[in-house]
Amino acid sequence: MKKITLIVCAFISLTRFASGQANAVVDIDSLPSQGFKLNKGWRFYPADNPDYAQTNYNDKNWQPIDPSLPVPELPKAAQQGIFWMRIRLRINPALRPGASLVIVQSTALEIYLNGKLVGQRGTIDGELKTGRGFFDPKNPIELPLTNSSEQVLAIRVANQASLYYLNRYNQIVSAGIIFLNTPQLIRTNDEIYHLKYALVAGISILLFLAVLHIILFSYKAQNRGNLFFACYAICFAIYLFDAFLTFDLAYYADVMSYLGILGILFYVIGNLFGIKALYTLYKFIPGRTYKILIFICLTCFLTNVFIEGSKSYALWAVYVLGNGIQIWLTLKAIKHKKRGALFILTGFLISIIGIISLIHAGLNNELPDVLTVCMITLGPPLGISVFLGREFALDSQLLQLKLQQVEVLSAQALEQEIEKQQLLAKQNETLEQQVTARTAELNQSLVHLKATQTQLIQSEKMASLGELTAGIAHEIQNPLNFVNNFSELNAELVGEIKLEIEKGDLEEIKAIAIDIEENSKKINMHGKRAEGIVKGMLEHSRSASGQKEPTDINQLADEYLRMAYHGLKAKKQDFEAALITGFDERLQKANVVPQDIGRVLLNLFNNAFYAVNQKQKTRGADYKPEVSVSTSQENGQVIIKVTDNGIGIPDTIKEKILQPFFTTKPTGEGTGLGLSLSYDIIVKGHGGKINIESREGEGSEFIIDLPLN
């Protein structure tokens, strides 16, 4: 017997429903060629009672309902919780055998035929008054129709409250129609297989293109069009994968809703990446137009997901706007004679042809074929990919041409280089002769220079020795003056004591003897002082071997400060300066060459006294010359600071004053080797540091860092 298929598309939503006239019994005597549309005769009641499924239940007080109308026109009671729908059917006995029911709505349903449960979709929770819908229009529910003249079909419906806010959920349950014997509405496995095969092929091609252009971008990062196109291809691959997952439509309604939202999101993002790629490839500036487009696309996405009743219009707006702008950019590129733009335009035209084919299939309630799917999904990506591949190929050809030109230029350059080498060989022979002659002259000049340098160094040493000798002489002169004075005084006292002896005045003789004794003690004291000065200098002289030994830096600095001062004082009797010392009494002895460090200190003190003396010549009596020396110990280092309030060092010569033979003193007063030798002694001889801080017109400070060991 001929198989009969009864397909019910009952649309139950959260936001939209409509009411219409209901007949007591719906008669189905014949089958139109396009199927029987059953949208009248339904009644519904917003309550939950298992008795509503019984055939003898009186539903005359129930409200009529037309499940095929838009959802907003239905009563509020049908938008939440659980409700029942009932319809009475009188079907021609010839149409009863093999009847089945196909559900194309996603609310939770329980289907009762003549009081018996014959099938269900999803789950219904009677206590919470809610349900979780399951969308499966592919597999029909068999209807065991009886021989009774009337058949009572009752459906228990439960809305899924947790998805009320999603417009995408409403779009899944967007029809409520009963068809009779329309097998074209039930997709065959072969049709689905081929369509899925097309989707998998499209996903694979898009991912391959994405990887390919990511590699191209890695080779030429400045061409960001490859990167944008790769993102475009990945987004559309995800969109097709989402369609692949939901194609059977056998999913829970909430899962289908979120998968649909995810697919739409990547579709919108993919369009934006595609437009950005075209802007980059054509070297157009996006400007404000692209920002407005982003705003419109995101608005359409949110509208499609959340705003009730928008259905797929917002998505179509994104498609039309996105593809329209891409086509407009391509036509603009063609107008500007951008090479390869026709390839991209061809891809869009192929996609448009596929869209027309898709619309035609939808109007005829048919699934799109593999070619249609491929044309829609792969037309623009392949067009852009061909464009990018062609650009890469042209760049490669240009590179090959450049390489050939480089090879020609390299050959020419090689010939020129050979000629140059030959010319250079001849010139080198001449230069070698000239260099030999000049070298002999330079060697002679070098010998002369070394001799001159030796003389200058010796002069510097002699100058230092002279200053040191003057200081020592002045230091010894004081005790010698005392010795001479007291010796002369004792001689006079001896004459006086002789006179007093003749007079016989013993008391006066005793007084004179006491004076002679006191003077002798003073002569001895000052003699020992002179002996100490000589002994100290002899000790420093004995260290001239260059051997390091533990040395009291405080004592060394104090001695050379005074020697330098007295040396200048011996030359200029009217010179006066305040000597300030700040020695750290806890300072440990440093392992140094005393004579070398003494030379450094003497040089720094001489420079300091010279600076304050020069400043005194211009400032007069109001200026008080000061030279100070201080010591401290930090982190195993001895720090010696020599400070003056003299003329200072100009910034322009700070970097030069440590260079050999550089001096600011007039000719005959300095050799320019003092600071240079001091630098060598401190840095090279003792591993220390010497720093200079100075402000012109205010004074200078030389800071020496020496390791203790």
Hey, what are 473's tokens? 């002489």
Distance (Å, whole) CA 263 – CA 237: 10
Across 179-193, 309-323, 493-507, least confident range: 179-193
pLDDT for residue 641 is more than 90: yes
Mean pLDDT computed over every residue of the chain: 76
DSSP 411-431: HHHHHHHHHHHHHHHHHHHHH
Average pLDDT over residues 651-664: 79
Residue 621's identity, in one-letter code, is A
Across 10-19, 190-199, 295-304, 700-709, least confident range: 10-19
Distance (Å, whole) CA 18 – CA 568: 119
Distance (Å, whole) CA 96 – CA 26: 14
pLDDT in the model for residue 23: 47
Distances, alpha carbon 72 to alpha carbons 16, 460, 484, in Å: 3, 110, 133
Pairwise pLDDT comparison (353 vs 596), residue with the higher score: 596
pLDDT for residue 11 is more than 60: no
Please report the beta strands in 534-615, taking only residues with DSSP state E, as ranges in sequence order: 549-551, 578-582, 590-592
pLDDT for residue 404 is more than 70: yes
pLDDT, one tens digit per residue, over 178-209 is 444 444 444 445 556 666 777 777 788 778 77
Pairwise pLDDT comparison (273 vs 80), residue with the higher score: 273
pLDDT in the model for residue 573: 77
**Band of residue 535 on the pLDDT scale cut at 50, 70, 90:** low
Predicted TM-score (pTM) above 0.75: no
Rounded to a whole number of angstroms, the CA Rg of the chain reads: 56
Is residue 43 a contact partner of residue 78, using CB atoms and an 8 Å limit? Answer: no
Is residue 672 a contact partner of residue 663, using CB atoms and an 8 Å limit? Answer: yes
pLDDT, one tens digit per residue, over 339-357 is 777 777 777 777 777 767 7
Across 39-48, 548-557, 582-591, 652-661, least confident range: 652-661
pLDDT for residue 176 is more than 70: no
Phi and psi torsions of 127, nearest 5°: -70, -45
Distance (Å, whole) CA 319 – CA 316: 5
Is residue 350 a contact partner of residue 375, using CB atoms and an 8 Å limit? Answer: yes
pLDDT, one tens digit per residue, over 598-638 is 889 988 998 999 899 888 888 877 899 999 999 999 988 99
Pairwise pLDDT comparison (261 vs 670), residue with the higher score: 261
Burial (CB < 10 A; 0-12, 13-18, 19+), residue 634, is exposed
Across 378-382, 498-502, 555-559, 680-684, least confident range: 378-382
pLDDT, one tens digit per residue, over 46-82 is 999 999 999 989 988 899 887 766 555 667 777 778 8
Pairwise pLDDT comparison (696 vs 668), residue with the higher score: 696
Is residue 178 a contact partner of residue 7, using CB atoms and an 8 Å limit? Answer: yes
Distance (Å, whole) CA 467 – CA 463: 6
- Domains observed in the chain: 6-185 (2.60.120.260), 189-338 (no CATH), 396-544 (no CATH), 550-707 (3.30.565.10)
Is residue 38 a contact partner of residue 178, using CB atoms and an 8 Å limit? Answer: yes
pLDDT in the model for residue 626: 94
User: Which residues are paired to 694 by β-bridges?
Assistant: 700
> In sequence order, what are the residues at sequence separation of 6 or more whose Cβ sits closer than 8 angstroms to the Cβ of residue 442?
none
pLDDT in the model for residue 177: 38
Distance (Å, whole) CA 287 – CA 198: 37
